[in-house]
């Protein structure tokens, strides 16, 4: 069931990342109020997945562990999104920063 929670968090993050950043590529010419409504619509699906993921996940992880998982997933999804969808160049310092974040996540899960 832990794997299901992680998969749900990954999918919810895909929706949320698009809601937050997809409009920067896809809807540059749209009015801000239109982009906000579109983002809310996309974020709705994120909540449909994330709220149950957190509820189920809280049975297997501490709240801090659950949030740490969420943040690592969020950054992972964002890196892939920014490189492959937004076409932002990937830099070495991103790798180093991400490794340090993963080290922090590891520390949170230590007993």
| Domain limits for position 29 | 2-109
Taking 90 as the threshold, does the pLDDT of residue 111 lie above it? no
Task: Kindly tell me if the per-residue pLDDT of 48 is higher than 90.
Answer: yes
pLDDT at 38: 94
pLDDT, mean of residues 9-18: 96
For the chain, what is the domain count? 1
Phi, psi angle pair for 20, to nearest 5°: -80, -40
Q: What percent of the chain has pLDDT over 90?
A: 77
pLDDT at 66 over 90: yes
Task: Give residue 94's pLDDT band: very low, low, confident or very high (50, 70, 90).
Answer: confident
Q: State whether the Cα torsion 31-35-38-40 is positive or negative.
A: negative
58 phi-psi bin (left φ>0, alpha ψ -120 to 50, beta other): alpha
């Amino acid at each position: 069931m832990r794997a299901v929670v992680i998969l749900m968090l990954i999918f919810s993050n895909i929706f949320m990342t698009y809601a937050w950043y997809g409009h920067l590529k896809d809807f540059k010419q749209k009015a801000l109020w239109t982009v906000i409504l579109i983002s809310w619509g996309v974020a709705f699906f994120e909540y449909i997945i994330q709220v149950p993921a957190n509820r189920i996940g809280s049975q297997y992880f501490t709240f801090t562990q659950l949030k740490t998982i969420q943040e690592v997933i969020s950054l992972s999804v964002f890196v892939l999104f920014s490189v492959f969808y937004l076409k932002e160049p990937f830099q070495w310092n991103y790798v180093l920063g991400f490794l340090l974040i993963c080290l922090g996540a590891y520390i949170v899960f230590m007993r």
